[in-house]
Amino acid sequence: MKLSINQWVRVVAGSFVMSSLALGVPGSPLFVDGHFLWFTAFVGANLFQSGFTRFCPLEGILRRLGVEDDCRRS
């Protein structure tokens, strides 16, 4: 299964949010430090601004890595 850039952005952002929550929430068995929640806020703010500006740094990185913009399913 090939993922498009939009799908990769969602996968990476979701995994960053879930990881930082696991590391930053005191009730988590993986808790390290509450400061990891700042990373969760950063990812959310970046997703929010990219919805308005259509600028996402991860898209540029993925393009340079050769990920296709549009994944046509057959």
Where in the chain are the domains?
5-64
pLDDT at 37: 97
**pLDDT of 1:** 80
Q: What is the pTM of this model?
A: 0.85
- Note the pLDDT of residue 71: 56
Contact 69, 5 (CB under 8 A): yes
Q: Which two tokens stand for residue 59?
A: 């898209």
Residue 22's pLDDT is 97
Residues of the chain with pLDDT under 70: 71-74
Give the total residue count for the chain.
74
Alpha helices in the chain (DSSP H): 5-24, 37-53, 57-64
What's the pLDDT score for residue 69?
85
Q: What is the pLDDT of residue 70?
A: 75
